Amino acid sequence: MTNWKKVKLGDVCTDISYGYTESANSKPVGPKFLRITDIQFDHIDWSTVPYCKISDSDHKKYKLEKGDIVIARTGNSTGATSTIKNDIDAVYASYLIRYRTNKNIANPFFVDFALRSTKWNDFVNNIKGGSAQPGANAKQFAEFEFFLPDLPTQTRIASILSALDDKIELNRQMNHTLEQMARALFKKYFVDDIDPENLPEGWTMGRLGDISVNIKITIDPKDEETLNYVGLEHIPRMSIALYDWSEDEILHSQKFQFQENQILFGKLRPYFHKVVLAPIDGICSTDILVIEPIAKEYLSYSLMHFSSEEIIAYSNQHSGGTRMPRVSWESLRNFEIVIPPKNTMQQFEELISPVLNSIIQRIHENKVLKEIRDSLLPKLMNGELEIKEAETLVA
């Protein structure tokens, strides 16, 4: 590390700016509008990012460029970062801060990995302290210190770590395609040609509670007990399977227990779109319902119903409470559905099961790739590992 120098984030930036204030719009009324909620899990799914209205002058001012780094400045996501990897017509919201690096001295993707380090997490946690409303400003973030090698070394290190990110992203994209395939199969089998007023022989009208049950196995805090943990923050929007979770979570309060192939449903408004199939055993927040089909052949059919737009609308209508409205299992179980004969659901399960298994396989593969990346990251960023050795490991 003899040629590495200690710098501050602000030292390597040509521009540091707060984002644009406007309401998000689901319709394409302007450029994409990147928000805090869109930069979770080291990944931006641009297909789910909304749009916003903006003037030409503000569009130019707030437009994101490839290599721009955005950092969340408020709430529980304070310090969450993402770096723009594509040329896309997008602006960023006011609760994000944009850091544009001087590319003559700092590779933005090297800086991106510096901001994914445990050192960055410790730095952010120190800023947040024990505040009930976490937050930070642009000047505070700009004080973050890290070591910077020469530009060619930065580029090589960023390339090594980015290669792992690229493999993770490819798996994500393939899973997205498989999820679309699964939803299309469900629609073809049970929506397109089915008239609830004139059902085929053997088909009946029923309720969600007829094909699934709510599992309420609680687990209380115990000294030194650690388990895989899932909170609402881990569940992506409108995905079929769970992609991320905290490992070795120490229990501080009561949680629900869940098992692989059970369904996790976010019961707080506005999180009804957070419904996933669990690829692991673990514990989850009590703000999540744990749901199990009454038989194996009902799994995919149940999952597709709970992750449907109709359930979101129904949950919004039947949620109660003033501070944090939520929907209960007693309400959800009464949602009316068409119930096909058991052999039809068996056929659907046999058809879709390989698709779900392939999705789950890639999720576990990504977990391994992330572990490799996260183990290499501090060693490369501190100059503790030879670059040639790291290149061999990820080849």
Report d(CA 72, CA 26) in Å as an integer.
22
Report d(CA 153, CA 106) in Å as an integer.
10
Which one of 9-13, 77-81, 368-372 scores highest in mean pLDDT? 9-13
**pLDDT over 90 (residue 139):** yes
Let me know: does 10 contact 16? Beta carbons within 8 Å. yes
Q: Where residue 44 sits, what CATH number does that domain have?
A: 3.90.220.20
Does residue 355 fall inside a structural domain?
yes
Task: Read off the DSSP letter of residue 199.
Answer: P
Report d(CA 89, CA 30) in Å as an integer.
9
Q: Is the dihedral of CA 92, 172, 124, 151 positive or negative?
A: negative
Given pLDDT bands bounded at 50, 70 and 90, which one contains residue 233? confident
Structure tokens at 285: 């927040």
Same domain for 91 and 219, yes or no, is no
**pLDDT over 90 (residue 47):** no
Same domain for 92 and 188, yes or no, is no
Same domain for 326 and 203, yes or no, is yes
**pLDDT over 70 (residue 388):** yes
What is residue 236's predicted lDDT score, i.e. its pLDDT? 85
| More confident call, 302 vs 129 | 302
Average pLDDT over residues 351-359: 95
Same domain for 179 and 302, yes or no, is yes
Same domain for 47 and 88, yes or no, is yes
Does residue 385 fall inside a structural domain?
no
Same domain for 27 and 128, yes or no, is yes
Let me know: does 161 contact 380? Beta carbons within 8 Å. yes
Given pLDDT bands bounded at 50, 70 and 90, which one contains residue 132? low
Does residue 372 fall inside a structural domain?
no
Task: Report phi then psi at 81, rounded to 5.
Answer: -125, 160
Report d(CA 38, CA 75) in Å as an integer.
14
What is residue 41's predicted lDDT score, i.e. its pLDDT? 66
Alpha-carbon distances, residue 148 vs 108, 145, 281, 377, 382 (angstroms): 12, 10, 41, 14, 9
**pLDDT over 80 (residue 87):** yes
Burial of 295 (0-12, 13-18, 19+ CB in 10 A): middle
Helix (H, G, I), strand (E, B) or coil at 153: helix
Q: What would the DSSP string read from start to end of 21-85?
A: ----BSS-SSSEEE-GGGS-TT---GGG--B----HHHHHHHB--TT-EEEE-BGGGTT-EEE--
Q: Please give the torsion angle defined by the CA atoms of residues 322, 303, 338 and 184, in that order, rounded to the nearest 10 degrees.
A: 120
Same domain for 197 and 137, yes or no, is no
Does residue 155 fall inside a structural domain?
no
The total number of structural domains that make up the chain: 2
Task: For residue 54, give the nearest of 21, 80, 79, 82 by alpha carbon.
Answer: 21
**pLDDT over 80 (residue 222):** no
Does residue 337 fall inside a structural domain?
yes
Does residue 86 fall inside a structural domain?
yes
Report d(CA 101, CA 211) in Å as an integer.
54
Summary mean pLDDT of the chain: 91
Does residue 389 fall inside a structural domain?
no
Spatial CB neighbours of 382, under 8 Å, sequence gap ≥ 6: 1, 147
Helix (H, G, I), strand (E, B) or coil at 6: strand
Does residue 374 fall inside a structural domain?
no
Task: Report phi then psi at 143, rounded to 5.
Answer: -85, -5
What single-letter amino acid sits at 323?
R
Given pLDDT bands bounded at 50, 70 and 90, which one contains residue 114? very high
Structure tokens at 219: 């687990």
Same domain for 265 and 323, yes or no, is yes
- Cis omega (within 30 of 0) for bond into 270: yes
Residue range(s) defining the domain that contains residue 292: 171-359
- The tokens 């931006």 sit on which residue? 44
Same domain for 43 and 113, yes or no, is yes
Given pLDDT bands bounded at 50, 70 and 90, which one contains residue 88? very high
